[in-house]
Structure 1
Amino acid sequence: MKHLILNILTFFYRPFAKVMPFQTFRYLACGGGNTVLDIFLFFVFYNFVLNKQVVELPFIALSPHIAAVFMAFLVSFPTGFLLNKYIVFSDSNLRGRVQLARYFLLVAVCLLMNYVLMKLFVDYCHFYPTIGKILTTVVVVCFSYITQKKFTFKVKVEP
């Protein structure tokens, strides 16, 4: 599967070869695909699974747009990690469990950013939830790329 994905990305990379490195293209393609999946899942969970209704938990009530963010996360977390580990940052020489722990930490920060920005855009700025999710995604993706490259999947220089 890894080779198939890389072959497809290599084919589509040719027109972009002079504009960006292949790793950046892989990140944009894989991250973009995972982001589209996340937004699609958010839309489905918000509109059809939760039916735009508040989720009553024993200890808290979650707005439907916040609950949908968490639900979509349950799918986009593992797919995002696997794509980043094996397709985008495959040259990282950190141990897999270190990458997973760092990725989980990064995703936790990104999830918190999602929560705060969704609250800001939807509850305070009164944007439609899907538009709020798209704006939130732009901010979080920029932060995520820099953090993954420099921290989560960095290449450790051996002395």
Structure 2
Amino acid sequence: MEAVVEDPIEAPEDIAPVALDGAPIFAAQCVGCHQATGAGIPGAFPPLANHVYELYEADRDYLPLVLLYGLQGPIEVNAQSYNGLMPRFAQLTDDQIAATLNYVLEAWGDADRIEDYEPYAATDIEPLRGRSLSAADVHDVRQEIGLP
């Protein structure tokens, strides 16, 4: 006997796709320097927690640029100086970069400090790829947008 479905049920078109979880990506790629708490290591690796919202507010494109191209040069975070090299993570997909940034912004409450916070999507990352930027160029961008 063959089952027949006369009126198949169709999924609504307005269902949002399941968001990729950035926590495992952060754990695999970022924890060694920035720590699971986002506190970083004073003098060696800057904190993300209670700071990353400032980066988002300065220029929403800055955070994706750091992940895509890295960052090299002296910076200051919470009156502490850092002068190292953050490697680029351009090998991650646009979805993975967006998910990681959203995790970093949301995990320690930084997103709550942003009045018009909008999570990143792959479509925010894709246009920033393909530029010929170095980690030092991203440092120049940081200075141009007024970040120490």
Q: Which of the five TM-score ranges fits, normalised by the shorter chain?
A: 0.3 to 0.5
Q: TM-score, normalised by structure 1?
A: 0.31
More strand by percentage: 2
TM-score by length of 2: 0.33
